[in-house]
Chains A and B, each alone.
Chain A
Amino acid sequence: MRKVVLAALLFGAALLPLASAHADSDAAARAQRWDLLRQSIFGNRSLHNGQNVLTLQAPYRAEDAALVPMAVVMKGRMPVKGLYLVIDDNPSPLAAHFTFGPDADPHEIRLRVRVNDYTEVHAVAEMQDGTLYSVEDFVKAAGGCSAPVGTSDAQALLGIGEMKLRMLGAYVPGQPLQVKLLIRHPDFNGMQMNQLTRLYTPARFINSTDVTYNGTQVFHVETGISLSSNPAITFDFVPKASGGLNVVARDTDNTVFSHTFDIPGPNS
């Protein structure tokens, strides 16, 4: 150990006067990071510039690193089959992977993520033919991954699995309708320390959600620990004269939460 410290010290001392010459540039490091991630997530598939296909809207500077809003607008003519959201510098970077079904209107997706550091964020759309299109944006926030969920774990678990659905537009049968789905879940990411016991709360989070309308798939989404607590997902689908939007969410403890919302409902 003594040798390691000494070596580190000598190395550090040697480095100091040449700091700027030795420190690799941030841009190069970010490109290298994304290279590693795209290999891990997409293998050798090629990623095309997606600026004509999708737009990623992320706040440049986030107020709350544990609740950073992200919006992806898909504007290409080709139907989108899937969508990936990657928070590059998070330890578990893949925040969400959506697969859209026949009853989806994959026009816009909004959700909230945790951001651990100043980071690039990538949104990747997968077309029906399997082609991948990628866009990126930069977010300045730090510390979202170890930010505690609430005052206590027990309190954070109150009302787990409760769901709400908010209509964000006017309900017109046959026309795309934007809704916001809210699921109550602490989504413990396993990196938060309980301030009283000084122990890390084990990870427990929603890792898969299926939304169907009258039995037809709207989307399936796989989510990771980069997603914020109490997931809030905004999406579009095309309602008919009447029907039910069914949500089935599963967490990593294999607990299943399910709810069906009438469309139009009592509040729409």
Chain B
Amino acid sequence: MNARIERSRRYLLLLLLMSAVALAPARSQVPEPQAYWLGPIHGPVPATITGGSVVGTAQLVHLLARGGVVLIDVAEAPHHPSGLPPGTLWLPPPHRDIPGSIWIPDVGRGAISPQFADWYQARLAELTGGKRDTPVVVYCHPNCWMSWNAAKRAINDGYRSVFWYPDGVEGWQKAGHATAIAHALGLDAPR
């Protein structure tokens, strides 16, 4: 009887292992850029970020539950187009992101001015109370380089516990988690 249970247990384990291999998502082949990604912000992203960790939704939930995390959303804010005819309906919807996030648009662009980079560093210092070991999670959308760049900037600024959440707000929603309306920080910051 025990041997039979043992056998079926082993069989089950094997089955689980096999399905885990089969279900493992294909790892991205995109290499990490030397410094920051300067190309189009939408496109395939790497599977890694040197100096930091990549987190999935389950790990993020776990991290947030532990508390003491600085959660930064770097999704872009809609740019009011120049050249719209008068009377055009321009009504961007409120931006929604993971509850508790600080929304800082544009700090994940490939090339940013030194003063804007300084401004971002100052915000990080404020948000973490200057403690470089504070967990910092950075995200935006899937296949968006903004979060990779912004997380890399935090790593290069000396933060030792930087997490990159590449699934972004859509990944969060897809897993059934709620979102909340966000208010952008730093739209008037020196660019």
Q: Which residues of A contact B (CB under 8 A)?
A: 1-2, 4-6, 8-9, 12-13, 15-17, 19-20, 22-26, 29, 33, 36-37, 40-41, 88-89, 91-94, 116-118, 142-143, 145-148, 188-191, 193, 195, 198, 200, 202-204, 207, 224-225, 252
Contacts and interface: CB of A to CB of B under 8 A. Distances in A.
Interface string B138-158: 000111100000000000000
Nearest to B109: A198
Interface stretch (B3-11, B14-22, B50-58, B82-90): B82-90
Nearest to B39: A195
A36 B89 CA distance: 12
Contacts, number: 131
B185 interface: yes
Interface size class on chain B is 35 or more
B89 A92 contact: yes
Interface in B165-182: 170, 173, 177-181
A202 B41 CA distance: 19
Interface string B40-52: 1110000000000
A224 B100 contact: no
Given A8-B102, A118-B173, A145-B78, A190 B42 contact: no
A88 B141 contact: no
Contacts of B111: 198
B99 interface: yes
A191 B91 contact: no
A22 B181 CA distance: 10
Contacts of A224: 88-89
Given A23-B179, A202-B83, A204-B83, A9 B93 contact: no
Contacts of A23: 99, 178-180
B78 A191 contact: yes
16 contacts: A4-B185, A19-B98, A23-B99, A24-B180, A24-B181, A29-B96, A36-B91, A40-B91, A92-B81, A143-B143, A145-B78, A147-B42, A190-B80, A191-B79, A203-B81, A252-B84
Given A12-B101, A37-B91, A143 B141 contact: yes
A37 B42 CA distance: 28
B123 interface: yes
Interface in B65-85: 67, 70-71, 76, 78-85
Given A8-B102, A142-B141, A189 B173 contact: no
B127 A9 contact: yes
A91 B84 contact: no
B93 A190 contact: no
A207 to B, nearest CB: 6
Nearest to A18: B99
Given A40-B91, A118-B170, A188-B83, 15 more contacts: A8-B102, A9-B126, A19-B177, A19-B180, A29-B94, A37-B91, A91-B93, A92-B91, A94-B89, A142-B142, A146-B42, A146-B79, A193-B79, A202-B82, A225-B84
A143 B42 contact: yes
Contact of A252 (B39, B42, B83, B186): B83
A98 to B, nearest CB: 16
A23 B64 CA distance: 15
A121 B37 CA distance: 34
